[in-house]
Amino acid sequence: MTELYYIDGYRKECKASVVRKDKSAFVLDRTVFYPEGGGQPGDRGMFSSFHIGDTVKDDDGTIWHVTDGEAPAVGTEGLLVLDWDHRYHYMKEHSAQHLVSALMFSHEHIGTVAVHQGEDSFTIETDVSEIGDDVLFRIEGLANEAIRKNLRIWQDEVAHEEAESLNMRRSIKVSGRVKLVHIADTDVVACGGVHAASTGELLEIAYAAKERIRGHVRTIWKCAEDAVAWRHGNRRIISALSALFSAEPDKLYAAAERQIAETAELKRKAKHAERIAAHALLSAGNGDVPVIFSDIPASSFEDEKERMFLALDSAGRFLFHGSAALFERLKTECNIKGGGRNELFMGSYKDNAEEFMRKAKEILDGREEA
């Protein structure tokens, strides 16, 4: 098979013929479709009237074009057409990943362990356990400086011995001749993927987040249109929050902290008021065992442990203080769910409150626990 994407990564179509098929996949005599590999998804598009949803390479290096249904018959000829937007997106992400990995290595001695290109971001798992945000923002700045310089990106193929002599930042994982990717004045590394022709095509690179994985820091980045959209989205969020808090962007964090503190204090006061109201309701309760319904959350009664009682609220929750034996009777006869210990039980009820209270009063006022 002739792999035309290595000859010209910008070629979008070619005429081809089916030389082998399986149930829903087929092999062509030539292809412009890049197979999944190196963290980059396989290409998709059309062959004649057949939709190709993925392109993969098997263990012996054969490239398979995967269809949605039955594959075309051997000998079928047609035009193979890339989903160019899909391909170009990953060409730019792959190139951006090379650039960021190279800058992390050359400026911070941080190596790359694994990479992944995604629909709206790419990730680089590093070989270190800690990286400060200041370092990653510095790398972001250097990457965007390289974009503004519009550095050339190109590929070539050399003998294994020559590739080894270059002392590249990443070890060579193939035998025989080695495909190399160069970024002018910045990086050269062994890679069999497809890439943009210049850093200028990457438009913009943004450091988005980081996370821990396998004891390493995995960094998350956005590039090109995804980076621009992300920046615009963040700007809209900041503008909306500034209006909501009546604060300038640089004072938003302090305003949010104040709001959180004030809300916490209001919740504390409200909870205290609910507990006072719960105590007053229980003190005024009639009957041998008070059964109380109110809008006060049933949990507000949890400190009232001086006597047996049942409290239920309009949200369908209840709290019962009494013996485990009586609670089991309530569960059996009143259609409730819940549990607890030390004579304090909580849960929810399904019957309407009136029916629950009626049944509960019968059980509790005439209780026989044995």
- 200: domain CATH number? 3.30.980.10
Q: Which of 64, 61, 72 is nearest to 33 (CA)?
A: 64
Q: What is the pLDDT of residues 157-182, one digit of tens each?
A: 999 999 999 999 988 888 899 999 99
Which strands sit side by side in the sheet containing 112-117, from one edge to the other?
112-117, 122-126, 216-223, 205-213
**209 to each of 12, 16, 156, how far by Cα in Å?**
34, 43, 33
The answer to whether residues 288 and 347 belong to one domain is yes
Residue 316 per-residue DSSP state: S
What does the alpha-carbon distance between residue 52 and residue 63 come to, in Å, rounded to a whole number? 13
The average pLDDT across 187-202 equals: 95
Q: Is the pLDDT of residue 113 over 70?
A: yes
Residue 351, pLDDT score? 80
Q: Is 37 exposed, middle or buried (0-12, 13-18, 19+ CB in 10 A)?
A: middle
Among 8-12, 32-36, 348-352, the range scoring the smallest mean pLDDT is: 348-352
Within a domain: 246? no
- Burial class of residue 219 (count of CB atoms within 10 Å of its CB; 0-12, 13-18, 19+): buried
pLDDT in tens, 62-71: 999 999 999 9
- Shared domain check, 104 and 69: no
Contact (CB, 8 A) for 276 and 283: no
Kindly tell me if the per-residue pLDDT of 276 is higher than 60: yes
Average pLDDT over residues 252-262: 96
pLDDT at residue 192 in the model: 87
Q: For residue 333, tell me if it sits in a domain.
A: yes
Q: Residue 146's closest CA among 110, 91, 100, 107? A: 100
Q: Do 236 and 109 belong together in one domain?
A: yes
* Top-confidence residue, 39 or 86: 86
Q: What's the predicted TM-score (pTM) here?
A: 0.79
Instruction: Please compute, for residue 335, the number of CA atoms within 13 A of its CA located in the half-sphere on the CB side.
Output: 11
- Quick one: 61 and 114 in the same domain? no
116's tokens: 């992944």
* Position 195 in a domain: yes
Report if residue 265 sits inside a domain.
no
Whether 197 and 63 map to the same domain: the answer is: no
**CA-closest candidate to residue 13, choices 99, 79, 71, 63:** 79
In a domain, 254, yes or no: no
Is the confidence at residue 369, as pLDDT, over 80?
Answer: no
Whether the pLDDT of residue 57 is over 50: the answer is: yes
What is the DSSP code (8-state) at residue 73? P
Where does a domain end: 56, 82, 108? 82
Please state the domain count of the chain.
3
Domain span holding position 12: 2-82
Residues 115 and 235 in one domain: yes
Say if 256 falls within a structural domain.
Answer: no
199, 221, 241 — which closes off a domain? 241
Q: Are residues 15 and 129 in the same domain?
A: no
- Would you report the helix, strand and coil content of the chain in percent, each value rounded to 5? 40, 30, 30
Longest dimension (CA), the chain: 95
pLDDT of residue 135: 98
CATH code where residue 54 lies = 2.40.30.130
Q: Are residues 180 and 284 in the same domain?
A: no
pLDDT category of residue 284 using cuts at 50, 70 and 90? confident
Query: Two tokens at 330?
Result: 């309530």
> Same domain for 115 and 59?
no
153 with 209, same domain: the answer is yes
72/93 same-domain check: no
Query: Does residue 327 surpass a pLDDT of 80?
Result: yes
Query: Is residue 251, in this structure, part of any structural domain at all?
Result: no
CATH at 281: 3.10.310.30
Least confident of 117-131, 279-293, 299-313, 350-364: 279-293
> For 273-277, what is the mean pLDDT?
95
Report the pLDDT value the prediction gives residue 370, as an integer from 0 to 100: 39
Evaluate whether residue 60 is within a structural domain: yes
Q: How large is the average pLDDT for residues 275-296?
A: 87
Residue 208 has pLDDT above 60, yes or no: yes
Q: Which of 27, 61, 82 is the last residue of a domain?
A: 82
Is there a single domain that holds both residue 160 and residue 211?
yes
Report CA torsion sign: 106, 107, 108, 113.
negative
Looking from the CA of 247 toward its CB, the CA atoms found within 13 Å total: 15
